[in-house]
Structure 1
C-alpha cells in the first residue's frame, strides 16, 4: 500500500502559495481554448478565434462563480448561513462541478444572445472541450489528498493521511480522472468529429458524465458532514447527477427523433 505524501503546494512564495489544484484549473482553461481554436479554424465552423477566447474567459468566470456557489448551496449551506462571507473565501477550498455546470450554462445563454448563436449550437461545440479540464481537476484532487474513496483491500489502495484512520482507500480521484477526463474526452471528441444532429453532443456529455460520476460515487467516501442522502448508499453527487442522466438521454433521443422526422 502506498502512503500519499505529495505536497499540494506547487510553489511557495512566502506570502502566497500556489497549489497544484489551482494550476489544474489553468490547464483546463488552456486546453479548452486550444481545442476550441483548432475547431474554430476549420472551414465552415461558424466560430472565430476571438469568439473562442471570449467564451473561454467568460466560461472560466462561470465555472468559478458557479462552482463556488454550487458548493455552498449543495454541500455547505448551513456554514453559509452562519457566515455569509464564507462564500467569498475560495482559498479555503470547496468547488462543485454541478454548480460550475450551471454557471457555464448561464454563460452560454448570455453569450448566445450577444452573438446570436443558438444555445445547443454552442453547447455541442463546447462539450468536447470540457473533459480535459475535468480530468485535470481530479488530478488536482489526488495531489491534494482530498475527496478520497472508501476503504479497500485492493492492491492499489492508497493511504491518505488526511483521512485520519490510516486505512487504504480507493484512489477515487484517479478513477474520475480516467472516466470523466480521458474516456469522456475520447468519446466526445470522436462523436463530435462528424456532423451530428443538434443537441446530440450536449446530450451525450450530460449522459456520460452523469453515469461516470454515479459509478465512482459507489466507491467514493461521501462528504463527512453530509453522509449518505438516502438508502445508506445514495450520495449528494449521485443525486445531482441523476437529472443530468435523464436530461442527457432525453436530448439524445429528441435529437435523433427530429433527424428522422
Structure 2
C-alpha cells in the first residue's frame, strides 16, 4: 500500500481569499493548451494572429468551465442544486463534468468558427490534441482534493484516502491522469503531426477518451447520489461515454471513406 500524500487543497491562503489547487489545475490546463496551440498556429493558419488564438482559447475555456459545471448539475446531482442553487458557484469543491465541458467546447467552437469563417471540424481537429493537458491537470486536482477515488482493493499501490474511509482504494484519479492525460495526449499529438482527413483527429479523440473513461469506471466508485444505473456495474460516466465511442469511430470511418472517395474521383 502507498501512503496518500494528503496535500492541503488550499495552495495559498491570503486571508481574504483562498487559492485552491483545483482551480490552479484549470489554469495549468488552459495555459498549457494556449502554449502548445501557439506553437502549432503557423501550420494551422499562418494568417492568424496570437490575439485571435487567445480569443479562441478564451471561448473554449469558458465552454469548459460553464459546460463542465452545468453538466455536473444536470447529469449527476440536479436535486441537490435545485434545493440549494448557491452550491453551483462553489466550483473549488469539485463537481465538474467532462461530458458537460465537452458540450460547452463544441458550442463555443461552433460559435467561434461562424464568426471567423472556420469550419467546425477544422477547429475541433486543431483543438482536440490540446484537451488532454487540461484533462490530466484536472485529474491531479481531483487527487489533491481526495475525491473520485476508486473501489476498495488490495493492489500494492492502493491508498487510504482521508474522505474514503479506512480501506485502501484504487487511486482512480491517477489512472485517469495516465490515460486521459498522458496517453491520450501522446496518441493525439503523434497522430495529428501528419496530414489527416478532416474529422479524423476529432474522431480519434472521442474514441480514445470514451474507451479510457469507460475502462476506469469499472474501478472508480460512482457518485453516491447516483450509484450504479444498471447491472450492478453500469455508471453514468459509462453511459455518457458510449455515444463518444460510437461517434468517434463513426467520424474516423466517414473521414477516411470521404478522403478515399475524393481521391478516386480525382483520379478518374
What TM-score range do you get, normalising by the shorter chain? over 0.9
Q: Which residue is 2:265 aligned to?
A: none
Distance in 1, Cα, partners of 2:87 & 2:44 = 47
Q: Which residue is 2:223 aligned to?
A: 223
1:54 aligns with 2:61: no
Q: Which residue is 2:38 aligned to?
A: 37
Distance in 2, Cα, partners of 1:217 & 1:159 = 19
Q: Which residue is 1:258 aligned to?
A: 258
Greater Cα shift, 76-85 or 223-232: 76-85
1:63 aligns with 2:59: no
Structure 2 residue matching 1:257: 3-state secondary structure: helix
Q: Which residue is 2:264 aligned to?
A: none
Greater Cα shift, 136-145 or 37-46: 37-46
Q: Which residue is 1:152 aligned to?
A: 153
Q: Which residue is 1:175 aligned to?
A: 175
Distance in 2, Cα, partners of 1:21 & 1:143 = 8
Distance in 2, Cα, partners of 1:12 & 1:243 = 42
Structure 1 residue matching 2:213: 3-state secondary structure: helix
User: 1:16-75: CA deviations, max 9, x gaps?
Assistant: 111111101000000110011000134855643222110111111111110010000000
Deviation of residue 7 (structure 1)?
1.2
| Contact 2:94–2:142, Cα closer than 8 Å, also in 1 | no
Q: Which residue is 1:74 aligned to?
A: 75
Q: Which residue is 1:188 aligned to?
A: 188
Counterparts of residues 88-99 of structure 1 (less than 5 Å): 88-99=89-100
| Contact 1:39–1:45, Cα closer than 8 Å, also in 2 | no
Distance in 1, Cα, partners of 2:220 & 2:44 = 44
1:245 aligns with 2:245: yes
Q: Can you give the 5+ residue segments of structure 2 that lack an aligned partner in the other structure?
A: 262-268
Distance in 2, Cα, partners of 1:193 & 1:224 = 41
| Contact 1:203–1:248, Cα closer than 8 Å, also in 2 | yes
Query: Normalising to structure 1: TM-score of the pair?
Result: 0.96
1:201 aligns with 2:171: no
Deviation of residue 14 (structure 1)?
1.6
Q: In 2 relative to 1, CA 179–46 (structure 1 residues): closer, same or farther, beyond 3 Å? A: farther
Q: How many residues align?
A: 260
Q: Which residue is 1:15 aligned to?
A: 16
Q: CA RMSD in A?
A: 1.3
Distance in 2, Cα, partners of 1:57 & 1:169 = 37
Greater Cα shift, 36-45 or 149-158: 36-45
Q: Which residue is 2:266 aligned to?
A: none
Q: Can you give the 5+ residue segments of structure 1 that lack an aligned partner in the other structure?
A: none
| Contact 2:150–2:220, Cα closer than 8 Å, also in 1 | yes
Q: Which residue is 1:6 aligned to?
A: 7
1:108 aligns with 2:104: no
Distance in 1, Cα, partners of 2:159 & 2:204 = 32
Distance in 2, Cα, partners of 1:93 & 1:142 = 11
Deviation of residue 109 (structure 1)?
0.5
Query: Normalising to structure 2: TM-score of the pair?
Result: 0.94
Structure 2 residue matching 1:10: 3-state secondary structure: strand
Deviation of residue 83 (structure 1)?
2.8
Deviation of residue 225 (structure 1)?
1.1
Structure 2 residue matching 1:154: 3-state secondary structure: coil
